[in-house]
Amino acid sequence: MTATDRSLELITTAAQAAADKLAHDVIAYDVSDVLSITDAFLVASAPNDRQVKSIVDEIEERLSKELGAKPVRREGDREARWILLDYIDIVVHVQHSEERVFYALERLWKDCPEIELPADARATRGKGEEHAKLRAEEDATEFGELR
């Protein structure tokens, strides 16, 4: 991996912030060998727009307070389906679960090395799928009761 120590510090802090706000499927990639514009991507998701915003706000606050980092660009606020925070060294993508499945960023970056994240962030893996299954079961139960 060739991501800088600063990039790894930003990614680790952002990943922990996302996990603390109950993000799903937090993952990070070292994209420094294939992109010249940034070192790393962090991807996280949430099942609703309000939680997407909450995760993004927490990441932004932690990176500012703990590391003195402010994004140079923030996109996607209006609809909160996919919010991007560009810190130059890293880019954070927080997506609504439906957008995460549709755009499948992991497929695009699967050949890039994965960055080791804190245990809390690693524990979020599979949460999106678990949530989708629970939601489907609830919908099926509700639909069955309406008959």
Q: What is the pTM of this model?
A: 0.88
Q: Give 128's pLDDT tier (boundaries 50, 70, 90).
A: confident
Find all residues with CB under 8 Å of 46, minimum gap 6, and list them.
22, 23, 24, 52, 54, 55, 94, 95, 96, 97
Residue 29's Cα: distance from chain center in Å?
11
C-alpha to C-alpha distance for 98 and 39, rounded to whole angstroms? 26
pLDDT surpasses 70 at 93: yes
Mean pLDDT of 100-121: 93
pLDDT at 144: 62
